Amino acid sequence: MKHILAAFFAFVSLGLIAAPKAQLKLHQLYTDNAIFQRGIAEYPIKGYAKKNAKVEITFRGKTVAVTADDKGAWCAYLPSGEAGEGFELKVASDGESVVAKNIAVGDVWLVAGQSNAEFTVGWFKQGVEWAKDCDYPLIRFQKQTWQPPHMRKDDKWRVLGANSVKDFSATGFFFSKEIYKKHKIPVGVIVSAVGGSVIRSWISESALAELPHAKKTLIDPYKKALANYEIEKAKNPKKPPRHPLRSYSGLFNERVARLKGLPISGVIWYQGEADAMFAGGHIYREYLEALIKSYRMHFANDKLPFLVVEIPYYGSHYIWSDLRDSQRFVANKLDGVQLVSILDLGDLKDIHPPKKPELGARLAAVADKVVYGGNGVHTGPVYDSMSVVDNKAILKFKPESLGGGLVSSDDKALRGFLVAGADKKFTAATAVIEGDSVVVSSPKVKVPVAVRYGWYPSDGGVNFFNKAGFPCGLFRTDNFRLPTDRTPKK
């Protein structure tokens, strides 16, 4: 008998006899080092247990009990409380227990889009220098990947420091540092971005179904192809045809759907280059509006702030300006949407401009105004109105955007202005600052009808700023039909 017991304990010590598989788990949003959004009376905490099991969840001295559903999923609600750090999230069920340690409560931001949102500090050659200032234990980040929550092992909240900085989104890195330094609260950044992705991949199918363009060009053709596939598969089950690929909603399903109902402070949306390359500049406005409205429903906040990064210069084709115009259109249409211009930070030879410190500072300036109640200037000059006197167009800008006055950033003549007459043909124009106005003219245009700014990159770059140091973004005074506008002509 002694020999049998000795052999048994030897097997156990070597791990040759498997222990019962644990069934109690926290959703991956609630790992060690997680940051919860502050000030939420009913903060959702999710996880998995045995089906129909009772689960007790404790956070900051409060406990609540819930029952898992018939698939084992559960969700509890507890107050997150005010900003703080060093908390534990404890979960117990049916003899099992799980503890997530070093939880902080502060502000959580979603950084989403394509490569300029995704690319990490370590990706940029400047990253070594950037990483010298990285010791911020109250800044945490988590990157969403393709695995479903119950399978994810590597994606967890990570504390910003020397061992993790190279994996942090450069955009999120500089933004979060600015917010932390000014407001002294924990900052969490959830990164949900994929290089080269188009906007239709980031919108749910139900939201796309509300767009006639998406229904006609994406959803209906896919459903038809899928139906044909099923017919052909039934005819020849041993050699079925290739399954049709769905070109929409995939990234939403993989990386955003699992965040449903999560309280966050706002969204930084940096995407558009891929859609511009496919000449989707004009229709982009419909998709961007649909994305914003659907995300506000998804995150249960109909006023969720959106900070949209105006894609910087890369190439001089109209496909880029048409997309920027759509970004501007949506920002002007929807409340709580702010366009952050970085026309001066682009690089005509690099679609991934490395001036991410400047981007982070501008994003933080906007966030300080729209989220944190700051009083500082947060944008460059914003076009307001145009009048015509003789052969000159006089442009006025919104008073709150003047930032102490209009200036040329390099003290040279303003660049980037175009003017057109009744023929709608734009030509380079002379632009002169006169007080809080800009006077635009060209000897080729006798009676100005429309003015555009920033439509194409200029030699020497843009130089129309306010004294607060913010550049003017692309704008136009007209509503002429754009080249990428594929809607039927009336």
Q: Given pLDDT bands bounded at 50, 70 and 90, which one contains residue 21?
A: low
What interhelical angle do 284-298 and 318-333 show, nearest 10?
40
DSSP annotation of 211 reads -
- Is 318 part of a structural domain of the chain? yes
Q: Given pLDDT bands bounded at 50, 70 and 90, which one contains residue 153?
A: low
- Is 427 part of a structural domain of the chain? yes
Residues 157 and 284 both lie in one domain: yes
Beta bridge partners of 142: 190
Looking at the predicted structure, is the pLDDT value of residue 284 above 60?
yes
Q: Given pLDDT bands bounded at 50, 70 and 90, which one contains residue 13?
A: very low
| Mean predicted confidence (pLDDT) in 63-88 | 97
What interhelical angle do 356-370 and 170-183 show, nearest 10?
50
| Mean predicted confidence (pLDDT) in 122-149 | 92
Distances in Å between the Cα of 401 and the Cα atoms of 370, 376, 377, 466 are 14, 10, 7, 8
Q: Given pLDDT bands bounded at 50, 70 and 90, which one contains residue 12?
A: very low
- Is 114 part of a structural domain of the chain? yes
List the one residue out of 57, 45, 64 whose CA is nearest residue 92: 57
Q: Is the dihedral of CA 193, 196, 197, 198 positive or negative?
A: positive
* Residue that the structure tokens 């190279």 belong to: 166
Higher-confidence residue of 401 and 14: namely 401
Residues 309 and 167 both lie in one domain: yes
Q: What is the pTM of this model?
A: 0.93
Residues 227 and 355 both lie in one domain: no
Question: Contact 272/323 with Cβ under 8 angstroms?
Answer: yes
Number of structural domains (the chain) is: 3
Question: Contact 340/363 with Cβ under 8 angstroms?
Answer: yes
Residues 392 and 429 both lie in one domain: yes
Residues 261 and 157 both lie in one domain: yes
Residues 230 and 275 both lie in one domain: no
List the one residue out of 333, 331, 282 whose CA is nearest residue 308: 331
- Is 26 part of a structural domain of the chain? no
Give 429-442 pLDDT, tens digit per residue: 999 999 999 999 99
Percent of the chain with pLDDT strictly greater than 90: 89
In sequence order, the 6+-apart residues with CB closer than 8 A to the CB of 412 are 460, 463
Higher-confidence residue of 139 and 146: namely 139
- Is 280 part of a structural domain of the chain? yes
Q: Given pLDDT bands bounded at 50, 70 and 90, which one contains residue 14?
A: very low
Among 196, 229, 247, identify where a domain stops. Answer: 247
Looking at the predicted structure, is the pLDDT value of residue 61 above 70?
yes
Residues 142 and 274 both lie in one domain: yes
Residues 274 and 388 both lie in one domain: no
Specify the pLDDT at position 146: 76
Specify the pLDDT at position 8: 46
Query: Token pair for residue 154?
Result: 């590597």
Looking at the predicted structure, is the pLDDT value of residue 11 above 50?
no
Choice among 10-24, 210-224, 353-367 with the minimum mean pLDDT? 10-24
| Mean predicted confidence (pLDDT) in 258-287 | 97
Specify the pLDDT at position 6: 52
Residues 367 and 408 both lie in one domain: no
- Is 33 part of a structural domain of the chain? no
Among 355, 376, 397, identify where a domain stops. Answer: 376
Residues 407 and 258 both lie in one domain: no
CA distance 420 to 1: 99
Among 312, 341, 376, identify where a domain stops. Answer: 376
In sequence order, the 6+-apart residues with CB closer than 8 A to the CB of 7 are none
Choice among 162-171, 232-241, 281-290, 438-447 with the minimum mean pLDDT? 232-241
Residues 429 and 396 both lie in one domain: yes
Number of Cβ atoms within 10 Å of the Cβ of 328: 22
Residues 140 and 117 both lie in one domain: yes
Question: Contact 254/146 with Cβ under 8 angstroms?
Answer: yes
Whole-number average pLDDT of the chain: 93
Looking at the predicted structure, is the pLDDT value of residue 201 above 60?
yes
- Is 314 part of a structural domain of the chain? yes
Element containing residue 290 per DSSP (H, E): helix 284-298
In sequence order, the 6+-apart residues with CB closer than 8 A to the CB of 347 are 312, 313, 314, 353, 354
Query: Token pair for residue 286?
Result: 């419909």
CATH number for the domain harbouring residue 371: 3.40.50.1110
Q: Given pLDDT bands bounded at 50, 70 and 90, which one contains residue 86?
A: very high
Give 361-388 pLDDT, tens digit per residue: 999 999 999 999 999 899 999 999 999 9
Q: 199 is in which domain, residue-wise?
A: 105-204+249-376
Looking at the predicted structure, is the pLDDT value of residue 203 above 50?
yes
- Is 436 part of a structural domain of the chain? yes
